[in-house]
Amino acid sequence: MTSMKLVTLAARIERFPIAGSFTISRGAKTEAVTVVVEVSHDRLTGRGECVPYSRYGETPEATLAAIQAMQQALAGGLTRQALQVAMPPGAARNALDCALIDLEAKSAGLRAWNLLNRPTPGERITAYTISLAAPEAMAAATAKAAHRPLLKIKLGGDGDPERIAAVRKAAPESELIVDANEAWTEANLEHNLAACATAGVTLVEQPLPSGKDEALARIRRPIAVCADESVHDRSSLAPLRERYDAVNIKLDKTGGLTEALAMADAAQALGFEIMIGCMVATSLSMAPAMLVTPQARFVDLDGPLLLTRDRDHGLRYDGSLVYPPDSALWG
């Protein structure tokens, strides 16, 4: 991006109710708290959205402040490439990066994928998340979603073999992927992996805590294991080659689409399979992530499906199919 002088910045915190609640091993929440950025130049406005995540020490208020602190730099002509150095990876940079790409695309009269010289995204099957609960409750929730071809099952440690067996019985035809959100231990790792293999699970995401996942390199993994909390941007890829088979790329971790696309290229070069994931958020968060889907084996962009309402011009979902964004939304 060439320098755009007099870029103005606006940012705010927005809240979207979740349908019911969203429960993982670290707890439950009933709303998605996002930070929305708007960057404007020459009567055009680009938008981006992020979800600050307490697991990484982020809060909505601190994220908003970090974004607002970039106003002077943006007004002075800070480019998107310079932004990658000016801010660390994380939610704040993600929202700004995506807003700047949206603004660049509008200014050039191009769709974002053409601007960035990436493949045109098409419709993809997205995973649909089943929250962590007792086996009976998870089976009931799964039964309602058993028509979906790909389900992502949240697990949480003790009792997980019973949970995944109950889920599989309730959805005998669906492909299952599992997310333990760091809740397993070395003591139950192999037992839980075996239970997932028995249930025909395709992939297990982040079974052990980040930084305490060395055991994955010492065991025979019966199914593919995907890094999430253990991987953030390109710099974190190489040390994981012996422990993981796949990596979950999330724009809120990479610090935006610019790094996410570079990370996807690097991950493929290292032999990792790719999942493109999301936090629970609106279609404005999902839209930039659609540009990574041509490289992804797994697409997990169901955030808007978990909300009671999405924003205007949201992504089109047809069952489990998700379609690329209209330019009225982003890019």
Which positions are catalytic? 154, 250
Task: Give me the residue label for tokens 């169901």.
Answer: 302
Q: Are 133 and 23 in contact (CB under 8 A)?
A: yes
In the chain the first and final C-alpha atoms are separated, in Å, by: 14
Question: What is the C-alpha to C-alpha distance for residues 232 and 235, in angstroms, rounded to an integer?
Answer: 8
**Two structure tokens written together for 251:** 């724009």
Q: Cα 200 from chain centroid?
A: 24
**Two structure tokens written together for 58:** 């982020």
What separation in angstroms does the CA of 266 have from each of 165, 242, 259, 269?
Answer: 36, 16, 10, 5
